Structure 1
Amino acid sequence: MFLWRAEVKPGVSVAFTDTGAGNLALHVGDDAGAVLRRRIRLEDATGIAPRRFQYMNQVHGNEVSVVAEPGTGAEPGADAPTADALVSLGGPLAVMVADCIPLVLVGAGASGPVLAAVHAGRPGLFSGVIPAAVEQMRAAGATDIRAWLGPSVCGSCYEVPAGLREEVSAVLPSAWSTTSWGTPALDLPGAAASQLDALGVPVEYRGPCTLENDSLFSYRRDSRSGRFAGLVWTHE
């Protein structure tokens, strides 16, 4: 169910699911009832129930939504905001991906942890979703923010047209890459790490490549792919 899971600070855990948890997305043509049952099973496995993970309707933008209270909705995934980053003062958060970066951020606030979950794909990185999320965390009082970069397609596998590499690298120089077979590519994890470094946010973990790992969903490997999740939650 979990590719990686750890208590990263006292009372705060981060995890990244694998295909054993099943598809967790409602927008990929899967049976909605089955998806919701998987989400409930995930909440039981992490021990957050009766709280719920807050999901979002991800659109490859840079909108940040603040979750005011820990999720306790009667149905998992209810009232998902349209955004590509979520920030909470302890409420459990989830981000879904299948090649994009599931970025989790944890900071210390005056009254407890400040959490964020970020959908960092190419358009989001290009438009500044990571700086926007960090800015919102700091506006909420977060200090000592740290980052966990979940599994995503790596710079040796993310082939793109040469023109797109030029366009993205003009804004994100560290994104410039070449595939292992010699064609133009983008290194999204490298670009994300560089953005975080510029923001003074250390990276504690970097996950493996989704395209190279059959235990992870990958849209590039299969366009009918499901979605795995990056998760962050506080213990009660």
Structure 2
Amino acid sequence: MLRYQSALAPSLQIAFTSIEQGNLALHVPDDRDAVLLRRHGLERGLGLGETRFTYMDQVHSADVVSVDGPPAASDIATCDALVSPSALEPLAVMVADCVPVVFAGITGSGAISAVAHAGRRGLLDGILSNTVARMESHGATRLEAWIGPSICGSCYEVPAHMAEESENLRPGITCATRWGSTGLDLPGEARRELELLGVSVTASGVCTLENEDYFSYRRDPDTGRLAGLVWSGK
């Protein structure tokens, strides 16, 4: 597990899980009870006790939802970013090649946190800018972001028409894969966008396809999902 701590809001802890923590997604081929046990074991291991992470129903959108209090088990938000205006709600984002981004920051009254799922579509449509804008609407004055394990541009091959559309929307996002075909550099574009927005960025530099310690949809379409997490360690 990759672990970080916020410099702006030192009480906030950030982590990205690996295969060692197991699949944390309910929408992939796995036993539901086993997944829930893994989630609860992770929460207890991180010192949260019976407090639960808030997850999303991720749909490759640019939609952001603010959360204030734990949701009911049947009330999972359909969106691709979550913001906790007080940073009191533990938040989670799940990926297996897409870009997981975890945010921490400060407002006039304390800390603020967020997580975002930046797949190709969501990244092109502005999920990261929307997340920053939502955090700023809640009073954020300074922000940090961590880009977790995701497929790198050297491994993310896409068809020519997809590359052309992406380049038209985000000049500089296209690249060459290591075998010479057309690719997209999603984590690189995520970093560029965030830095232009004034966000301090730390990138893990881990490619999920190259590193078998992490789940990769391109390696195995039936794979599990890793989680990007933010919570208050108090």
Structure 1's unaligned 5+ residue stretches are none
RMSD in angstroms over aligned alpha carbons? 1.3
TM-score by length of 2: 0.95
Which of 72, 75, 81 aligns to 1:79? It is: 75
Rounded to whole Å, the distance in 1 between the matches of 2:109 and 2:36 is 32
- Paired residues, number: 230
SS where residue 104 of structure 1 aligns? strand
TM-score by length of 1: 0.94
Distance in 2 separating the partners of 1:111 and 1:78: 31
2: CA distance between counterparts of 1:190 and 1:136? 22
Structure 2 partner of 1:108:
106
| Counterpart amino acid of residue 118 in structure 1 | A
Instruction: Tell me the equivalent position of 1:34.
Output: 34
Q: Is the 8 A contact 2:115 2:230 kept in 1?
A: yes
Contact 1:64 1:132 in 2 (8 A): yes
3-state SS, counterpart of residue 6 of structure 2: strand
Corresponding residue for 2:136? 138
Residue 24 of structure 1: aligned partner: 24
Code of the residue aligned with 2:213 in structure 1: it is S
Q: How does 1:50-69 map to 2 (within 5 A)?
A: 50-69=50-69
Q: Which residue of 1 aligns with 2:216?
A: 218
Number of the residue aligned with 1:183 = 181
The one-letter amino acid of 1:62's match is A
The CA deviation string for residues 26-67 of structure 1, in whole angstroms up to 9 with x for no partner, is 001211111100000110111122221100000000110101
Partner of 1:125: 123
Percentage of pairs with the same residue: 50
| CA–CA separation in structure 1 for the residues paired with 2:143 and 2:124 | 21
Please, which runs of 5 or more residues in structure 2 have no aligned partner? none
Aligned counterpart, 1:47 = 47
AA paired with 2:42?
A: L
Contact 1:155-1:179 within 8 A present in 2 as well:
yes
Q: Select the residue among 135, 145, 148 that pairs with 1:147.
A: 145
Deviates more, 1:196-205 or 1:182-191: 196-205
Structure 1 residues 117 and 42, CA, compared in 2 at 3 Å: closer, same or farther?
A: same
Question: 1:72 & 1:130 partners in 2: Cα distance?
Answer: 23
